[in-house]
Structure 1
Amino acid sequence: MIKYLGTPHIETDRLILEKFQLNDAQKVFDHWLSDERVADNRINAAHKTISETIERVNKIVTGYESEEFCYWAIKLKDSGELIGEIDLYDFDKVTENCEVSYSLGYEWWNRGYGTEALRAIVEFGFRQMNIHKISAAHNTDNPASGRIMSKAGMVQEGIIRDMIRNSKNQYKDCAIYGILQEEFNSKNFVLQQGTN
């Protein structure tokens, strides 16, 4: 049975994962939601106005009222800089499975932060929440995201053609990844440090 714990504070070697605050909206807008390079890998279009981002952050903050809402701001431990987001969602009470998604600001790509955050959330999902399986998907034209998933122990299970349609009305194939709790346990995963 899934043990819902909301969005607790989690620390890794270089990151702090914690709840968003209402006053984070400007940085969320500046660092990734208004950036077309990041939006190319998301379903929703880049935000054009800060008011769109304020509305979205308000919705996230309101979501924290539920123990079933798991949505973290990703911050650098040394500076407190807000660099991205990661969440667990689509919990299935029958299978005890869920999905994970994440976004990082372009300035912080290719530094191992995505891998570090994903490993922390996968570990939390299995060890604290008792999730059975965690799945994720990425556009096939974004292989870097697949490398993050692989480094977190996930394995590619297949490709779904035209899985999403982005804001530019383009269909995109997506690679599906997953990891089972028993795989996580058998690989004796420990929270990896640094940029592995």
Structure 2
Amino acid sequence: MIHYSGTPTLETDRLVLRKLEGSDAQTVFDHWLSDDRVMDNLIKGAHKSVEETIKRVTEIVDQYETEEFCYWGIELKSSGDLIGAIDLFHFDPMTENCEVGYTIGYDWWNKGYGTEALSAVIEFGFRTMNIHKISAAHNTDNPASGKIMSKVGMQKEGTIKHMIRNAKNQYKDCAVYGLLQVDYFNDVK
């Protein structure tokens, strides 16, 4: 059984994973949601105005009231900069599986922050929430995301052709990764 725990603050060596606040909207817009380099990898595309981001952040903040909602802003301990977001979603109570997704602002790519945040959220999902399996997918033209998944122990399970269609109306093939709770515990012992 999944033990829903909401979005508690999680800490790593360099990061604080915390709930977003309404006052974060401008930073979220500036650091990643308005950046085509980042948002090209996501379905909805870059935001054109901060008003779009204010609406999105408000939707996120409003959902924190439910224990089934797990969405963190990724903040650097050293500077307090909000550099991305990560969430657990699509919880299936029958299989006790879910998915994880993450976004890191371009200025913070290739510094290990995605791996560090994903590792913390996977540990939370397995140890605290009792998730059976956590899955993730990335566009095949974004192999760096697959490297992050591999570094935390996720295994590539295959590729799904034309899994998504992005904001530019382009179909994208996605590589799908997964990690079972039992394998996670066997690896970390």
Same fold (TM over 0.5): yes
Measure how far apart 1:69 and its partner are: 0.2
| TM-score, normalising length: structure 2 | 0.99
Where does 1:57-96 land on structure 2 (aligned, <5 Å)?
Answer: 57-96=57-96
Partner Cα separation in structure 1 for residue 12 and residue 188 of structure 2: 18
Secondary structure of the 1:75 match is: strand
Partner Cα separation in structure 2 for residue 137 and residue 188 of structure 1: 23
Matched residue, 2:116: 116
Matched residue, 1:46: 46
Measure how far apart 1:146 and its partner are: 0.1
| TM-score, normalising length: structure 1 | 0.96
- Unmatched segments (≥5 aa) in structure 2: none
Partner Cα separation in structure 1 for residue 10 and residue 93 of structure 2: 24
Q: For residue 108 of structure 1, what is the amino acid of its counterpart?
A: W
Partner Cα separation in structure 2 for residue 47 and residue 116 of structure 1: 26
Q: For residue 76 of structure 1, what is the amino acid of its counterpart?
A: L
Partner Cα separation in structure 2 for residue 126 and residue 77 of structure 1: 24
Matched residue, 2:178: 178
Matched residue, 2:166: 166
Measure how far apart 1:188 and its partner are: 1.4
Partner Cα separation in structure 1 for residue 19 and residue 166 of structure 2: 27
Secondary structure of the 1:187 match is: helix
Partner Cα separation in structure 1 for residue 156 and residue 113 of structure 2: 21
Q: In the TM superposition, what whole-angstrom CA distance separates every residue of 1:93-150 from its partner, at most 9, and x where no partner exists?
A: 0000000000000000000000000000000000000000000000000000000000
Partner Cα separation in structure 1 for residue 122 and residue 99 of structure 2: 10
Partner Cα separation in structure 2 for residue 154 and residue 77 of structure 1: 26
Residue identity over aligned pairs, in percent, reads 68
Matched residue, 1:194: none
Moved over 2 A (4+): none
Partner Cα separation in structure 2 for residue 176 and residue 40 of structure 1: 18
Please say if 1:16 is aligned against 2:21: no
**Number of matched residues?**
189
Measure how far apart 1:45 and its partner are: 1.4
- Unmatched segments (≥5 aa) in structure 1: 190-196
Partner Cα separation in structure 1 for residue 14 and residue 20 of structure 2: 18
Secondary structure of the 2:6 match is: coil
CA-atom RMSD, angstroms? 0.6
